Structure 1
């Protein structure tokens, strides 16, 4: 069975020296790995893709479930993982929850992986 990574708060955007800058501390490496782990699922990648492509810039859980052919519970699980990683934000409006990509968090992650990425 694979070793699970520790549960720590990674909701703030990743902030550390780029991977290419040389040796990375254990804490910084863990912070980057946990965010990448949140994206390392085909369903979550599809969710992120759909959220990026949404004309409104956000989508409800119900619509995500319908478009991705998933149950509401499955969508909730995956969105929770993305939210814990700080990659998605959610807002309840009435009976619906709307989700959007936190573009600043993704830019920060991209900059850590490749310092020339987001220039």
Structure 2
């Protein structure tokens, strides 16, 4: 993983809502409507947060009809974890 990629991931996770969204997705794919139900934010605000998470590749986005379904990109999660772990060596 490139340093630039890790910077984008760290910036994405520095927001409380985005970190909570990632935690929600840790137990499987969720529809955007289910994510929205948990937060006291508007749909455009959720879209903004999800765009940041998708752009840094932490989250996968799948469209089904008019709904977006989100899941963690486990490959990127593992790479980011390895990057952090290597800092302690």
TM-score (norm 2): 0.88
Number of equivalenced pairs: 87
Measure, in 1, the Cα distance between the counterparts of 2:77 and 2:10: 10
Give the superposition deviation at 1:35.
1.6
Map 1:83-102 to 2 at 5 A: 83-102=54-73
Deviations 1:71-91 (A, max 9, x none): 111111001000000000011
Give the superposition deviation at 1:48.
0.5
Stretches of 4+ aligned residues off by more than 2 angstroms: 28-31
**Secondary structure in 2 matching 1:74:** helix
Give the superposition deviation at 1:37.
0.7
CA RMSD between the two structures: 1.5
Larger Rg belongs to: 1
Measure, in 2, the Cα distance between the counterparts of 1:29 and 1:58: 28
Q: Give the corresponding residue for 2:24.
A: 50
Higher helix proportion: 2
Q: Find the partner of 1:107 among 52, 58, 78.
A: 78
Unaligned runs of 5+ in 1: 1-14, 16-27
TM-score (norm 1): 0.68
Q: Give the corresponding residue for 1:29.
A: 3
Measure, in 1, the Cα distance between the counterparts of 2:25 and 2:41: 15
Unaligned runs of 5+ in 2: none
Measure, in 2, the Cα distance between the counterparts of 1:59 and 1:67: 12
